[in-house]
């Protein structure tokens, strides 16, 4: 065998990859903390620390398993990017062959293809052995169809992988329990205290700061909370299925000020770094459901399975079908700057104040906070999706472009004009009031549409529909909203539009 260098990226920490089955003294693994990766957007300090900690633990595990590893910490890395680092390492150590796993991100995919062209040794890329579907599967599945529907893809995944199936039919006769995933959290509902770790990442944080990397958010360097290896990720999975799964589905869309993750799994970081595989997460959850069917109803398990084999795989398929064009789509031609308080949480709107402050504190917000609070507001306010993408790509521990951009530009901003979703996810304050405990603690009045202290969501909602009537008016799923708008009469309409204009002009002081 030729003397081989194998690259492992920070989100390729797959302990079960076939590469690692046996140690081979002809093979050396390269892992590197790279300036370009730490600065391609302004990341949360917990995100960079989390990736570096998990990478270091993975490298230590490889060494224990008898593999040869070159691990380059950020402050010892003289190369800005993988594009210059890899050829330099090949030359320095006289490697005769280069191998890497398919990157999940288009940018790095292009970069590593360029590396292959620039080096004089043979090279090969291999599967990361993580996803249930392959990069091109979704495009092939929808070939010739105008719209990509998550539900049809999800059903196909259930059938293909025989997940909760009875022959060709879903095990209970019904595919989707989405309608049962929308309960408001009762005030006295007990919520399990999130399982958190207390890693000491003081050295990593000092190094990041010493290298002049700009970051956002907060960190307690002596008690970094996120799982950092496979063992801890499996513990979090166990914690989730035992304590949270029984209530996962019903409170999936609920929002409260009294907790930051409710019954959500917080497994996205472990899965996105590949410390856990999606199929093992799904199988473990199904095993728990089967053992406790009285307690864990079908709506809970189906809701969870759908997120992973449905939405997660669907988003990845869209990413590879539509990149690189996807990254510049701006269907509504929105150009407004992101309000300054997205970086500080300093706004009088309780829903945004809480969701953003929680994101800065934990590098985490659950799906509905991302979609219906920060995403919804940005869409109503006409924020440029480029700026919003940078924000989402930086702030969350789990943010990697393949799943961030499809959710942000696609699901949340409808900037793709309807590839991911069939209509924009926008709402007025009534949704927020129905699903959260925010409105009762807010400076603004959720019932008021105009006048002093009127909740900005109300007038901005109608302003959004009004200004985009040419683009949305013919959408059959929205027709009713335009009929309500037209019935309002011009005086009411003008009041709403004037109120919204006032808010748009004073965005930074809301
Ligand atoms: P749970 O609620 O416990 O769900 C279980 C798992 O299902 C998640 O871990 C995740 O792997 C998967 N999942 C759920 N919803 C989605 C979805 N819409 N797309 C893909 N997978 C999903 N997810 C990321 O992993 N990285 C991102 O950068 C990201 N950015 C987002 C940006 C916006 C604007 C929106 C609306 C959503 C984004 N999501 C992203 C999807 C979702 O919000 C997160 O996956 C979820 O909040 C992670 O928390 P959890 O692990 O507790 O999820
Ligand atoms: C997110 C991230 C960060 C912050 N730093 C590194 C790094 O220094 N080295 C590395 O190999 N990977 C890092 N990552 C993850 C990569 O950005 C990720 O591999 C790509 O986005 C591909 O999905």
Q: Which residues line ligand 1 (CB under 6 A)?
A: 264-268, 271-272, 307-308, 311-312, 315, 366-367, 370-371, 375, 392, 396, 398-399, 403-404, 407-408, 411-412
Strand order in the sheet with 97-101: 68-72, 27-32, 4-7, 97-101, 122-126
**Pick from 437, 491, 485: nearest CA to 462:** 485
Buried b (16+ CB within 10 A) or exposed e, 482-491: beeeeeeeee
Task: Please give the Cα distance from 414 to 19 (Å, whole number).
Answer: 40
Q: Is 400 in the pocket of ligand 2 (CB under 6 A)?
A: yes
Is-contact 125 31, C-beta < 8 A?
no
From 11, 39, 80, the mutation candidate for ligand 2 (largest count of ligand atoms within 8 A of CB) is 11
- Give the Cα separation of 339 and 417 in Å (integer): 23
Q: How far is CA 240 from CA 192, 271, 312, in A?
A: 9, 14, 18
Which residue, among 53, 410, 330, 31, has the nearest Cα to 402 in the 3D structure? 410
424, 311, 341, 333: which is closest to 376 by C-alpha? 424
Å from CA of 388 to ligand 2 middle: 20
Instruction: Indicate which residue's Cα is closest to atom 15 of ligand 1.
Output: 307
Q: What percent of the chain has pLDDT over 70?
A: 100
- Collapsed DSSP state (helix, strand, coil) of residue 107: helix
CA-nearest residue for atom 29, ligand 1, is: 404
Tokens read off for 481 = 């909203």
**The pLDDT value given to residue 207:** 98
For 440-467, give the secondary structure using H, E and C: HHCCCECCCCCCCCECHHHHHHHHHHHH
- pLDDT of 144 reads 85
pLDDT value of position 358: 98
pLDDT, position 182 = 83
Instruction: Give residue 180's pLDDT.
Output: 87
Tokens, residue 164:
């909760």
Choose the residue to mutate in 6, 14, 51, 106 for probing ligand 2, maximizing ligand atoms within 8 Å of C-beta: 51
The answer to whether the Cα torsion of 430, 434, 436, 437 is positive or negative is positive
Helix (H) or strand (E) holding 7: strand 4-7
Beta strand ranges found along 9-96 (DSSP E): 27-32, 68-72
The b/e string for 212-231 (b: 16+ C-beta within 10 A; e otherwise) is ebebbbebeeeebbbbbbbe
Separation between Cα atoms, residue 270 and residue 268, nearest integer Å: 5
Task: Determine how many CB atoms are found less than 10 A away from the CB of residue 145.
Answer: 9
Report CA Rg, the chain.
Answer: 24
Distance 236 CA to ligand 1 centre (A): 16
- Cα 330 to ligand 2 centre (Å): 26
Looking at the CA of 282, name the nearest ligand: 1
Convert 109-139 to b/e letters by CB count within 10 Å (16 or more is b). Answer: bebbeebeeebebebebeebebbbbebebbe
Is residue 246 within 8 A of residue 296, CB to CB? The reply is: yes
Contact between 433 and 424 under an 8 Å Cβ cutoff? The reply is no
Residue 396, pLDDT score: 98
Residues of the chain with pLDDT under 50: none
The per-residue pLDDT for 147 is: 79
Any atom of ligand 2 within 6 Å of the Cβ of 38: yes
215/395 Cα distance (integer angstroms): 9
Query: By 3-state DSSP, what share of the chain in percent is helix, strand and coil, each rounded to 5?
Result: 50, 10, 40
User: Ligand 2 pocket check: which of 7, 8, 10, 211 to mutate, most ligand atoms within 8 Å of Cβ?
Assistant: 10
């Amino acid at each position: 065998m030729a003397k081989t260098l194998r690259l492992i990226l920070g989100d390729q920490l797959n302990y079960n990859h076939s590469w690692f089955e046996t140690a081979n003294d002809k093979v050396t693994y390269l892992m590197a903390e790279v300036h370009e990766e730490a600065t391609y957007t302004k990341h949360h300090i917990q995100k960079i620390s989390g990736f570096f900690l998990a990478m270091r633990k993975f490298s230590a595990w490889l060494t224990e398993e008898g593999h040869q590893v070159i691990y380059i910490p950020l402050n010892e890395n003289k190369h800005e990017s993988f594009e210059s680092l890899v050829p330099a390492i090949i030359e320095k150590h006289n490697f005769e062959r280069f191998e890497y796993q398919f990157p999940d991100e288009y940018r790095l995919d292009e970069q590593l293809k360029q590396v292959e062209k620039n080096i004089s040794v043979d090279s090969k890329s291999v599967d990361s052995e993580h996803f249930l579907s392959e990069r091109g599967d979704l495009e092939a599945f929808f070939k010739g169809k105008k719209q990509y529907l998550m539900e049809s893809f999800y059903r196909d995944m259930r059938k293909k992988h025989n997940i909760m199936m009875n022959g060709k039919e879903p095990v209970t006769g019904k595919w989707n329990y989405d309608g049962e995933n929308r309960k408001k959290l009762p005030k006295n509902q007990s919520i399990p205290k999130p399982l958190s770790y207390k890693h000491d990442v003081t050295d990593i944080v000092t190094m990041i700061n010493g290298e002049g990397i700009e970051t956002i958010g907060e960190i307690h360097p002596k008690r970094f909370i996120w799982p950092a290896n496979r063992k801890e990720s499996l513990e979090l999975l166990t914690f989730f299925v035992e304590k949270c799964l029984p209530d996962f589905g019903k409170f999936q869309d609920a929002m409260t000020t009294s907790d930051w993750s409710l019954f959500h799994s917080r497994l996205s970081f472990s899965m996105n770094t590949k410390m856990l595989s999606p199929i093992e997460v799904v199988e473990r959850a199904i095993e728990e459901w089967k053992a406790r069917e009285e307690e864990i109803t079908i709506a809970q398990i189906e809701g969870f399975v759908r997120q992973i084999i449905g939405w997660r795989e669907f988003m990845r398929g869209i990413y590879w079908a539509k990149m690189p064009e996807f990254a510049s789509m701006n269907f509504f031609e929105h150009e407004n700057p992101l309000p300054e308080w997205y970086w500080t949480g300093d706004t009088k709107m309780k829903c945004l104040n809480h969701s953003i402050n929680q994101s800065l504190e934990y590098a985490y917000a659950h799906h509905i906070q991302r979609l219906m609070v920060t995403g919804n507001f940005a869409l109503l306010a006409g924020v440029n999706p480029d700026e919003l993408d940078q924000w989402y790509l930086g702030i969350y521990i789990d943010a990697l472009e393949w799943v961030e951009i499809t959710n942000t530009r696609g699901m949340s901003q409808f900037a793709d004009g309807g590839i991911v979703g069939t209509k924009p996810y926008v709402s007025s304050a009534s949704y927020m009031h129905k699903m959260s405990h925010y409105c009762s603690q807010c400076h603004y009045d959720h019932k008021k549409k105009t006048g002093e202290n009127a909740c900005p969501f109300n007038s901005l909602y109608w302003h959004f529909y009004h200004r985009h009537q040419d683009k949305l008016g013919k959408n059959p799923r929205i027709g009713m909203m335009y009929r309500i708008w037209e019935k309002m009469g011009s005086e009411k309409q003008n009041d709403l539009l004037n109120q919204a204009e006032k808010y748009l002009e004073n965005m930074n002081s809301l």
